[in-house]
Chains A and B, each alone.
Chain A
Amino acid sequence: MRTCQNIRKNLSAYQDGEVGTAEKDVIEAHLRTCKACAKQHEALLKTFRMLRSLPAIEPTPEFSRQIMDRATRVQEAFWVRSLGQALRLLPTPSAIVAVAVAGLLLGTMLGNFLTKRQFRSARTLSAFHSGQALTLASVRVFDATPPGSFAEGYLQLAGQNPERSYEK
């Protein structure tokens, strides 16, 4: 026979259906014979019922809409904040000016280099003003890289000289 103290310790779990079948049988058998424990069981049930009688409140019809509106504002604020952070990552105005100046200088140097190469190419052609050379040079207009064209300049830069093979 279990002591009343042990039974009362498990009364709450018993009422909540949280005890196993064997324990449940023991408690129920005890409650049938012990008036004191049965009284405590009834008192706890009464408290339980009383608490359950507390009515529930209902959310207002616009409640979920209000939450959605707040969530949308949170999302918008997030994007604004992210954009602000991205803008902060951009360089300062002085750095932008420095990069622009460096770009201009590099562009000028590259332009000079390409122009000189094109003049040199033109001088080479004028040395071949004999009839055959002129004919062959004229035929080269139909080449993939005609002399003096941008494509020829690019190939020269890339290290291939289309004229070299032609001169041979």
Chain B
Amino acid sequence: MLDEPDEKANEDLMGSVRLGNKYAFEVLIHRHQRSVLNFIFRFLGNRTDAEDLTQEVFLRVWKAAGTYKPDAKFTTWLYRIATNLCINRQHAIRIRRLFVQSHIQEQIQDSKDSSIIGESAEILSPEDRLIDSEQSVRLLNALNELPTSQRVAIVLRIYDEMSYQEIAQIMDRSVSSVDSLLIRAKKNLHRKLVEKK
């Protein structure tokens, strides 16, 4: 039946979410949680952060449902929220790492105990070990070393299979700009993954 929420288009469901319909919201979560979770995971390279941020993305959708324009494609709006949150979180993580590094250096200065480095420099959490093969870690690190805009473009293109047009809308750029971002991203990744192998 076409009226069943499970079969409705994303944009129609958002119309119901705007009116406070929780069931429509739940259908949207079920439909997009996996792709958003993986987009964020590939962007940040950490499962715990990815899960936390995915929840945050959907909460933003719930809170900002009133500002959603029905003529806009829902996934474009959703990924724009996800991208902005990823960039913000990345800044926070960098600051946290800088703080941890300076803290470690202070401790080394104080105690001259190099064993601290081994304990504190561990970045991967136990959950991350789901993807702990050497190849996967290398891929995630290579993605993580890309400049932010290149990383967003390549993750949306390769893993979410979005068209250049969609990526351009999400990133608020022109299609030709997305094209050049992807060329640079692929070249960078090739250097990191193939040439250095």
Contact = CB atoms under 8 A, between A and B. Distances in A.
Q: Do A and B come from one complex?
A: yes
Interface string A67-78: 110111011000
Interface residues of B, number: 43
B136 A13 contact: no
Contacts of A63: 33, 37, 51, 54-55
A58 B179 CA distance: 30
Given A9-B183, A64-B26, A74-B63, A52 B33 contact: no
Contacts of A54: 42, 131, 136, 139-140, 159
Given A55-B131, A59-B34, A64 B193 contact: no
Interface residues of A, number: 32
A18 interface: yes
A18 B163 contact: yes
Interface in A40-96: 43-44, 46-48, 50-60, 63-64, 66-68, 70-72, 74-75
Interface in B27-84: 29-30, 33-34, 37-38, 41-42, 47, 50-51, 54-55, 58-59, 62-63
A88 B175 CA distance: 50
Contacts of A72: 22
Contact of B59 (A11, A50, A67): A67
Contact of B55 (A13, A67, A75): A67
B123 to A, nearest CB: 17
B55 A59 contact: no
A13 B186 CA distance: 11
Contact of A56 (B22, B38, B193): B38
A67 B29 contact: yes
A86 to B, nearest CB: 19
